[in-house]
Structure 1
Amino acid sequence: MSFAGSSTAWPRWLDPTKGFSDDIPPRKRQLALALRALCRLLDSENLDKPAESWLTQAQAAKRLGCTADMLSRYLNRDRVPSRSFVERLYKEACADAAASGQDVSISSETLLALHASAAGERRGCEHCTELGGRIDSLTQQLDAPCPACMAHQREQEACQRQRKQDAARLRSARREAARLRAAVAALKAQQAEGLTAEAGLRDRLEAARNARALLPVPPQRRDRQQSMKDLSAARQLVTQARELDSSGREDLAFTLLRQSATELLTPAETAHVVVGLRQFERDRLADDLIHVYGRDQEKQDVMAVALELHEEGAADDAGAILRAALK
């Protein structure tokens, strides 16, 4: 049975931390602690004070039918009160506790057993001392945790931890699934955009070629109209490749360059594409296009591109495409 106090600022005579002198026997200490706890439940009868004000020791003694000095002996010294005093204090404390919605926290039977044990201890009664020991043992048994309850509580805590871990793993899996779905959707969109861009480039190159048909006269070498046609198709392809490369899609830019150069463009147009890439500092795309074109195309087309590059002043690129054709 515990009668420890709370953080309330109690009057000195009701202070739950107030100790006992060494000559107070243990049964009397237990009874005194119980009596102190009951006194703390008594309300003030002075209507001029706030309801939460505490009784003074003299007021409590008057209410309980004793003197203040006698009450102090009951609560702090070795004096054991009469049974009638204990019963009266219990009755008054229960009435005030019920009115204020508090809990007495001790039964009448337990209180009287403590009183009998303390009285027997004072008289040196072996039976009363034995009874006090039995009370202590029963109190310890009541206060001791139940092994089955403790095991059940540990099991519940373990289940709760497992549920939290499972919930965390489920949330992580859902986030990963959402990330993968977003990545797949982005990849599909990128592929669709690439196919659309490639188809659009093919259409524009073909339209540019058809729209700039040559006049019905025998073309001369370095015909101006032919040169303008070559430049127009090459510029469109270079512009498209630059836009893709600038947006971080270098692979798609090179795919468009390679397919256009090998399937749609003439050797002269391909040479102008290389020159245009150099002008806009897209050297990596130009180098890759030279390497693939020289390696995969017919030797006659490679030589035509090399000749056009040489005439455009790109002698290094002309040599590079010829070397690629020899590998």
Structure 2
Amino acid sequence: MSSAGRSPVTGGWLDPGKKFKEGVRPGKRRLGLALRSLCRLLRSDDPGETGRQPLKQAEAAKRLGCNAGDLSRYLNDHRIPPQDFLECLYKEACADAVVSGQDAGISLQALLGLRASALGEQRDCEYCLETGGRVDALIQQLNAPCPACEAHQRQQEARRRQRKQLAARLRSARTEGARLRMTVAELKVTVADLKTELAEKSASEAGLRERLAAAQGARAQLPVPRRPGDRQLSPKDVSAARQLVAQAEELDKSGREDLAFTLLRQSTTELFSPPETALVVAELRYRERDRLADDLIHVYGRDQETQDVMAVALELHEKGAPDDAGAMLRAALG
């Protein structure tokens, strides 16, 4: 007999574990247990009660048309209730069970079969005992789980587990997809930054080439070659030197010190005369570009011909920069 959805009651007259009176035979015990189960379905209709509470024994007896003593003997003693009592109890229990969303757990025919079995047991009637045994067997078959239902339940449970697994995989895939999309977005930003940096570098190199070309154009070779001892600077020479230093200073301020030094080195070694180179060094000192001045002195003194190095050192000394002149000579000496 099913008891699905039914809360167990412990203690009191509805306790399923309550002992039967000594001598109560098995058939009557089975009937008593069935009666107790049905009585547990009975609920109070009192509007003053909180929720639908189980009935007290006296209330149940009154509702079923008997007294509390008879009801107790029906449930716990040898006394076998009449058929009309069983029908009344079954009707009332089914009505309350429907309201509570439960089921009686036994059919009326099965309940009457238990009564017949108990009566046969009481009378020692072989036919009644056989009938009761058949009824008990039928009840057991009814209560036994259906193989098809069990298979269906197992199939449904397997499907539920599969759906959960698929849902978990889907969540994992979505999380991984979101992570990959974020990674792709970050890579796109990195690529864009690299492209911008490359474009800036290309623009800087192009600007440097333009400046070198402009310097070469501004420093056109004189129609008459300058004599080695000619140290006079024309206004055009002074302007070209100062323009070169201004361009180098602009690059240095923008964080492109390497490009600034390249511009200075190539211009002084390929285009400028020693007096112009000395003027470039002095102008760098004046503009407080000491690092560029030091690097230019070192590289020029190390790489240029001795005659040019000595000429630049002499110009620096005469311009009041003996330290720079000495540094250039030391660089030439290695």
**2:3 counterpart letter in structure 1:** S
Asked if 1:239 corresponds to 2:253, the answer is yes
The Cα of 1:47 is off from its aligned counterpart by 5.3
CA distance in 2, matches of 1:156, 1:58: 52
The match for 1:70 is 70
Is contact 2:114–2:132 with CA below 8 Å preserved after alignment? yes
The match for 2:226 is none
The match for 1:135 is 139
After the TM superposition, which residues 155-304 of structure 1 pair with which residues of structure 2 at under 5 Å, given as runs?
A: 155-196=162-203, 218-219=232-233, 228-229=242-243, 231-241=245-255, 253=256, 256-257=259-260, 260-261=263-264, 265-267=267-269, 268=277, 272=284, 276=289, 278=291, 299-300=303-304
The Cα of 1:181 is off from its aligned counterpart by 2.1
The Cα of 1:89 is off from its aligned counterpart by 1.6
1:72 aligned counterpart, secondary structure: helix
Q: Which moved more, 1:57-66 or 1:159-168?
A: 159-168
The Cα of 1:117 is off from its aligned counterpart by 3.7
TM-score between both structures, scaled by the size of structure 2? 0.59
Q: Which moved more, 1:180-189 or 1:117-126?
A: 117-126
The Cα of 1:318 is off from its aligned counterpart by 8.3
TM-score between both structures, scaled by the size of structure 1? 0.60
Is contact 2:97–2:103 with CA below 8 Å preserved after alignment? no
**2:136 counterpart letter in structure 1:** G
**2:173 counterpart letter in structure 1:** D
Percentage of identical aligned residues: 31
**2:143 counterpart letter in structure 1:** T
Alpha-carbon spacing, 1:226–1:45, altered in 2? closer, same or farther (3 Å):
closer
Calculate the aligned-residue CA RMSD, in Å: 5.4
CA distance in 2, matches of 1:259, 1:185: 28
CA distance in 2, matches of 1:66, 1:2: 26
Is contact 1:44–1:53 with CA below 8 Å preserved after alignment? yes
The match for 1:120 is 117
Is contact 1:43–1:51 with CA below 8 Å preserved after alignment? no
The match for 1:248 is none
**1:44 counterpart letter in structure 2:** S
1:84-109 alpha-carbon deviations (Å, 9 max, x no partner): 322212212333445x4x32323662
Is contact 1:32–1:74 with CA below 8 Å preserved after alignment? yes
Structure 2 gap ranges (5+)? 219-230, 270-276
CA distance in 2, matches of 1:157, 1:299: 77
